[in-house]
Amino acid sequence: MLPKDLPEFNLEQGVVMLIDKPLEWTSFDVVNKLRYTIKRAFGLKKVKVGHAGTLDPLASGLLIVCAGKATKTIDQIQAEHKKYTGIITIGAKTPSFDLETEVEKVANADHITLEEVQNAANQFLGVIDQTPPIFSAKKIDGKTAYNLARAGKEVKLKKAQVEIMTFDIVKKEGVNFHFEVTCSKGTYIRSLANDVGEVLGVGGYLSALRRTQSGDFRIEEAKTVEQWVDFIAQLPNNQKTEG
C-alpha cells in the first residue's frame, strides 16, 4: 500500500534516490533498472539518470541516484566525504585487492593483534598518495585498467592524493579485522586494505565493504532497488510531475 504522504516525484525539479545497493549489482545495473522503470511509468523515451559515486559489485550500501534536473548536482554530491564499514582479511593477497580475484601469497597471520592492525591503519591517516588497484575503472591511454589487467597486460597507475579522516579497527575475528573509515572522494578502500597488509608484512585484502554515508546522506534513509521500483511503478497520475 502506498503511504498517504506520498512525495511528489518531480523530474523537472529533480529527484534524488537513496539506494541500498545489493551485492553483485554494479552501480550501472541500478541506474539502468531505475531509468527503465521511470521511462515506463512516465511514458518517456528519454530521461536523465546517473549515480553520484560508484560502488563495486562486491560492495553494498549507499548508492545515490539522481534523476531529471538532479543530475546537475551529481558532481557536488560526489565530492562529499564517504563513510564505510568492512573487513580486512590479513595473511594473504589478491591481484584485485578484494575477492574479485583468487587469493594468493598466503602467510601465517594468526599472531597479528588488533592493536598491530590499528597501528598500521594509523599510518594512512591524513592526506596520502594512494595507488589505485589495477583492477579498477581508471583509464590508461583511453583503455580501462581492469580490462588490461584481465588480459594479462602490465598496468601502471599513477598515485592520486586522497584524505583519510578516520580509520578505526573495531573488532578482530581470527584473521578478519572489522573496520570503519571516513575518507575523501576517490579513495579506494581496497588499496587501503592492501597497504595495511603490506605494512604488517603478511599481506591483506578487502573481504567485505559497505558504504554507510555520503556527505549528509545516510544508509538509514535508503530503500532497496525493489522498493524504489515498486514506488515509482505505483505512482498515481497526479503525483507524476515532469515540470
Least confident of 8-12, 52-56, 125-129, 202-206: 8-12
Non-local CB neighbours of 67 within 8 Å, separated by 6+ positions: 11, 14, 15, 17, 34, 35, 38, 47, 48, 49
The fraction of the chain above a pLDDT of 70, given in percent, is 84
**Cα torsion 192, 193, 199, 203: sign:** negative
> What does the pLDDT look like over 80-97, one tens digit per residue?
999 999 999 999 999 889
> What does the pLDDT look like over 42-54, one tens digit per residue?
899 999 999 999 9
Catalytic residue among 20, 56, 98, 195: 56
pLDDT of 71 over the 70 cut: yes
To the query of whether residue 195 is one of the catalytic residues in this protein, the response is no
pLDDT at 155: 60
Distance from chain centroid for Cα 56: 5
- DSSP letter, residue 223: B
pLDDT of 24 over the 80 cut: yes
pLDDT at 13: 87
Least confident of 131-135, 145-149, 159-163, 224-228: 145-149
Pairing of strands 82-90, 176-183: antiparallel
Domains in the chain with CATH codes = 9-79+216-241 (3.30.2350.10), 82-214 (3.30.2350.10)
d(CA 117, CA 125): 13
Strands (E), 5-54: 9-10, 15-21, 49-51
Please tell me the pTM assigned to this model: 0.88
**CA-CA-CA-CA dihedral for 128, 131, 132, 138, to nearest 10:** 110
> What does the pLDDT look like over 137-162, one tens digit per residue?
655 556 665 565 565 565 676 788 99
